[in-house]
């Protein structure tokens, strides 16, 4: 499982002109499910999403996590993160999970997040053409992988 996480001042996802998920300050996570991902990867990814220290403390150092700050979490499925781009000029998506498998495990990640992160978890819409709006705070962006 792969996630690109971005510290957000605010973020939202629109589908066909309708906002389907929005947060204030917090974390936007673009998430790709890879073949073979399952419960263990979902649990570990959530631990990393909630525990990764990318928010500033009173001294301006990145010492606080999403769990510490209580910010929002916006999860957006993005299979293109799992693309194989090592050769040629067109990505291959054989390294991404099939849609049915990806949907299953993305939904599981969302369920775990909603159970663990009371301040609020929002999502995009799996498989839809989404417009993701972000005010990146910093900018601060990291790539996380869980195997």
Active site annotation includes 80:
yes
Query: Which residues contact residue 80 at a Cβ distance below 8 angstroms, ignoring those fewer than 6 apart?
Result: 32, 91, 93, 96
56 beta partners: 62
Is 106 a catalytic site residue? no
29: helix, strand or coil: strand
- Considering the candidates 55, 78, 106, 123, report the single residue annotated as catalytic: 78
Please identify which residue in the block is written with the tokens 């990814």: 45
Helix (H) / strand (E) containing 66: helix 66-69
Query: Of residues 6, 55, 79, 123, which has the active-site annotation?
Result: 79
Catalytic residue among 80, 85, 93, 142: 80
Please tell me whether residue 88 adopts helix, strand or coil conformation.
coil
Catalytic residue check, 93:
no
**Active site (catalytic) residues:** 78-80
């Amino acid at each position: 499982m792969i996630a690109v996480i971005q510290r957000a001042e605010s973020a939202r996802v629109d589908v066909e002109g309708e906002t389907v998920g929005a947060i204030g300050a917090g974390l936007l996570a673009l998430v790709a499910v890879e073949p073979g991902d399952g419960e263990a990867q979902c649990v570990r990814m959530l631990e990393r999403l909630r525990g990764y220290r990318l928010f500033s403390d009173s001294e301006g150092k990145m010492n606080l996590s999403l769990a510490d700050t209580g910010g929002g979490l916006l999860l957006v499925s993005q299979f293109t993160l799992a693309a194989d781009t090592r050769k040629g000029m067109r990505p291959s998506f054989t390294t991404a999970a099939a849609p049915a498998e990806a949907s299953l495990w993305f939904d599981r990640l969302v369920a775990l997040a909603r159970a663990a992160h009371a301040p609020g978890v929002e999502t995009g819409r799996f498989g839809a053409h989404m417009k993701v709006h972000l005010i990146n705070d910093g900018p601060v962006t990291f790539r996380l992988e869980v195997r």
